[in-house]
């Protein structure tokens, strides 16, 4: 729906008073009166009619009220349509980038894939919005995509052994850890990939133990032992992980922590194999 903007025709603002509307009409009527424009009679007549039509509408309170309501409705619809088109454009751009992201990850172009993912995420965060894969893909496809992204972070984190990039390596490995944990949590709430739960747990086992190693230990990204218990692994596996963590604490001369964790291991698995050496080091009975 389109209607002429009478305020624009009279060259006045929407808040113009009745006297201002009248003055604008007189000024423009003189400007466009056909007698004043003998060389442009057709144009002048058309403009004069439009000025008169605008004035006749805006000088009458009832007509002006009806006109303003109609004009506001049309402008709200126009703004809503523009906002929708802008959102649709951004949505289409996100779909296109998501396709590039998946293509890169499936071809193991991890740097490219993570770059696209972080661009999508950060651009939305700057606008105060959260970018969610679920807004574009089905639930199952979204979890698949998150798994690929976590895998990419993990591979990138372990592919760079340059000591000058320690913080960046830890950031990527920590991001992989968080995404695997999110996948495990989602699977517990709404199972859709029971077959890969074990795979995610295996990867988290590896990452947790990496955090308890001389290369992986970092104060910024400390892993609480509660996360290991949250994996709900068989007692034998959990005990083995505790033993490995105790061995790490011995390696960095933190014997009280080593004893505490090793006791936790024996509580789960009293006949824990391979613990004779660490028990001797810690003066603990075996």
Q: Considering only 125-129, 198-202, 210-214, 276-280, which range has the smallest mean pLDDT?
A: 125-129
In angstroms, the Cα distances linking 54 to 8, 16, 63, 69, 201 are 9, 13, 11, 15, 73
Q: What is the pTM of this model?
A: 0.67
State both tokens at 166: 């320690």
pLDDT of 2 strictly over 80? no
Could you give the C-alpha distances from 183 to 101, 141, 253, in angstroms and in order?
Answer: 19, 12, 35
Interatomic CA distance for residues 212 and 251, integer angstroms: 10
Q: Round to whole Å and give the CA distance between 155 and 239.
A: 27
Average pLDDT over the chain reads 87
CA angle 52, 68, 20 (to 5 degrees): 50
> Quick one: angle between helices 255-268 and 235-251, nearest 10?
170
Give the mean pLDDT of 148-176.
84
Report the alpha-carbon distance of residue 123 to residue 87 in Å, rounded: 14
- Tell me, what's the pLDDT at 213? 87
pLDDT tens track for 97-118: 888 889 999 999 999 999 999 9
Q: Residue 28 has which token pair? A: 């423009």
Residue linked to tokens 């959260």: 130
- Do 241 and 247 contact (CB within 8 A), yes or no? no
Judged against a pLDDT cut of 70, whether residue 209 lies above it is answered with yes
């Amino acid at each position: 729906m389109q209607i002429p903007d009478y305020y624009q025709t009279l060259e006045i603002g929407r808040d113009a008073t009745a006297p201002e509307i009248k003055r604008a009409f007189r000024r423009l009527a003189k400007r466009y009166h056909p007698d004043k424009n003998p060389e442009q009679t057709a144009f002048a007549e058309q403009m004069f009619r439009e000025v008169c039509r605008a004035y006749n509408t805006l000088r009458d309170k009832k007509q002006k009220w009806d006109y303003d309501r109609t004009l506001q409705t049309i402008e709200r619809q126009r703004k809503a349509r523009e906002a929708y088109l802008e959102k649709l454009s951004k949505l289409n751009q996100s779909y296109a980038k998501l396709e590039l992201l998946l293509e890169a990850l499936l071809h193991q172009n991890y740097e490219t894939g993570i770059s696209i993912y972080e661009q999508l995420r950060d651009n939305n965060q700057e606008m105060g919005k959260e970018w969610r894969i679920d807004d574009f893909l089905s639930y199952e496809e979204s979890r698949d995509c998150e798994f690929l992204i976590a895998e990419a972070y993990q591979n990138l984190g372990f592919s760079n052994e340059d000591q000058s990039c320690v913080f960046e390596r830890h950031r990527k490995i920590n991001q992989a850890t968080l995404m695997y944990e999110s996948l495990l949590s989602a699977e517990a709430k709404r199972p859709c990939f029971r077959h890969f739960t074990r795979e995610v747990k295996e990867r988290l086992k590896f990452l947790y133990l990496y955090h308890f190693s001389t290369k992986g230990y970092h104060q910024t990204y400390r892993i609480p032992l509660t996360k290991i218990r949250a994996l709900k692994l068989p007692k034998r596996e959990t005990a083995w992980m505790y033993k490995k963590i105790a061995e790490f604490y011995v390696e960095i001369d933190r014997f009280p922590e080593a004893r505490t964790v090793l006791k936790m291991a024996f509580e789960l698995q009293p006949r824990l194999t391979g613990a004779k050496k660490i028990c001797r080091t810690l003066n603990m009975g075996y």
